Amino acid sequence: MKIMVAIKRVVDYAVKIRVKSDKSGVETQNVKMSMNPFCEIALEEALRIKEAGMASEVVAVTMGLKQCVDTLRTGLAMGADRGIHVETSGPLYPLSVAKLLRALVEVEKPGLLILGKQAIDDDCNQTGQMVAGLLNWPQGTFASKVVLDKEKQIVTVDREVDGGLETLCLDMPAVITTDLRLNQPRYATLPNIMKAKSKAIKKFTPEDLNVEIKSDIEEVQVTEPPKRKAGVILSSVDELIDKLKNEAHVI
């Protein structure tokens, strides 16, 4: 069985985000880009399943600009067997990504498609669900535990819900989206980085896959959150009470 994992290149989550002065988006020039953390978790899970002898191959897939290949290389250095890059130039919204993924699933025929539950740049949290819908596959979203039964061709997924855990049993093929606690991703070691150099990356265009990239969404503007006001240090309890009464009007 093959596992396909979708990975996205995003602004590194430790980067202090700056909004472009014309409010057209977030500054990405000269900014550290990395693999979306939830995608890292998705890939780690796929690798563990493979290492447990329950999958034969892990295929990492990414979509977007030319530079996304760097992220794919990271995925290969972590242990993915090969990569697929669908090269696009403009913005990509979840529905387009889901359609591209469906097309790739039809090419590759994986038994599992694993994605991060969301990407930390747009936080859409839609792609996994949409692609499951398009494929008409069962979905286990926000997985915090994944157990595969190869013989029965089912996968059991624990998901975190408010106040507890929900356990789902899915028939394969299935879509899984990963939550934070599922696993701790591995580092890219030098021997694996070396091996990754010779792994294949296949390129597609949306046209190759017969997917038209369009969107019903227009991004109007991006603005920064309001700046927090500096606090004040008061010298006495009386002053505090006075402020709470007369300025904040809470007592």
Q: Which of 31, 52 has the CB closer to other proteins?
A: 31
Q: Which of 144, 153 has the CB closer to other proteins?
A: 144
Minimal distance, residue 148 CB to other proteins, in Å: 20
Backbone phi, psi, residue 72, to 5°: -65, -40
CA distance 132 to 150: 20
CA distance 96 to 94: 5
Q: Which of 38, 204 has the CB closer to other proteins?
A: 38
Please give the DSSP secondary-structure letter assigned to residue 224: P
- End-to-end Cα spacing for the chain: 65
Minimal distance, residue 17 CB to other proteins, in Å: 6
**Beta-ladder partners of 84:** 61, 202
Q: Which of 136, 221 has the CB closer to other proteins?
A: 221
Minimal distance, residue 9 CB to other proteins, in Å: 11
Q: Which of 77, 148 has the CB closer to other proteins?
A: 77
Q: Which of 123, 151 has the CB closer to other proteins?
A: 123
Q: Which of 150, 199 has the CB closer to other proteins?
A: 199
Minimal distance, residue 151 CB to other proteins, in Å: 29
How would you write 13-78 as a 3-class SS string? CCCCCCECCCCCCECCCCCCEEECHHHHHHHHHHHHHHHCCCCCEEEEEEEECCCHHHHHHHHHHH
Identify which of 173, 177, 5 has the alpha carbon closest to the alpha carbon of residue 82: 5
- Torsion angle of alpha carbons 211, 216, 219, 225, nearest 10°? -110
- Applying CB under 8 A, the residues found at the interface with other proteins are 12-17, 19, 26, 30-32, 34-35, 37, 70, 74, 77-78, 118, 120-123, 180-181, 184, 187-191, 193-194, 221-225, 228
Minimal distance, residue 91 CB to other proteins, in Å: 12
Minimal distance, residue 25 CB to other proteins, in Å: 8
Report CA-CA distances (Å) from 60 to 15, 27, 28, 42, 63. Answer: 25, 27, 24, 10, 10
CA distance 202 to 214: 23
Minimal distance, residue 8 CB to other proteins, in Å: 13
